[in-house]
Amino acid sequence: MAQATGKGKGGGIGSAIGCLILLGALGYGILHFFPQVRTLFPGATPPIEWGQEYYGGGLRVKVVAAEVEVTQIEDTLGSRDGNEDLHVTLDIANLGDAPVAYKEPRLLGASEPKLLDDAGRSVPQAVYDDRTTVEGRLAHAQEIAPHDDEQHDLLFKVPPAGAKSFLLNVDMAMFGSRGVVQFRIPAEKIKGLR
């Protein structure tokens, strides 16, 4: 009987280790093959620090500016001022030999950009009507030529005061690549933030 109990304990430890390995592999697979899940877990990828660039999927992406400013819009009423919003400007360079097209995340089924402060609070996107052109944004399906770069503004509501930094989650599917990339934006780098 003592021998049977010893074998049972050894088998239990082996089974537990096997389960942990299986769960780890499953978690990695989900994050790797379904990158939009990463936006639910802000720490899933190491953030790109301010001033640094992300390289992947034939792209080089960098946050080049962050500023609270009045959004310039154009619609059937003409050009005019919109709301005061937080503009986060990405510079997207196409390093490949074929053009890549910007697509709106909601039309792709990709994750919308998310901005979280250092306390984990979400900063809502600033949304304008589909028929409204927003200055600083790439137009839907606008192509980035090979070995060229374009800038694209992501718009958010003005965040409340008090945060020291923000994490921006960007689903690269909207630029024809894969994966969700995080950029860290220190509050002191945001012009006009009160």
**CATH number reported for the structural domain that contains residue 99 in this entry:** 2.60.40.1240
Decide if 43 contacts 49 (C-beta within 8 A): no
Decide if 172 contacts 39 (C-beta within 8 A): no
List, for residues 72-94, the tens digit of each pLDDT value: 999 888 899 999 999 999 999 99
**How far apart, in Å, are the Cα atoms of 190 and each of 44, 161, 194?**
24, 12, 9
Is residue 26 situated within a structural domain?
no
pLDDT of residue 6: 47
CA angle 171, 102, 176 (to 5 degrees): 55
Is residue 137 situated within a structural domain?
yes
Predicted TM-score (pTM) of the model is: 0.76
Which residue range is the domain that position 83 belongs to?
35-189
Split into its structural domains, the chain has a count of 1
> Six-digit token pair at 16?
């537990």
More confident residue, 136 or 19: 136
Is residue 23 situated within a structural domain?
no
List, for residues 166-184, the tens digit of each pLDDT value: 999 999 989 888 889 999 9
Place of tokens 């790109």: 48
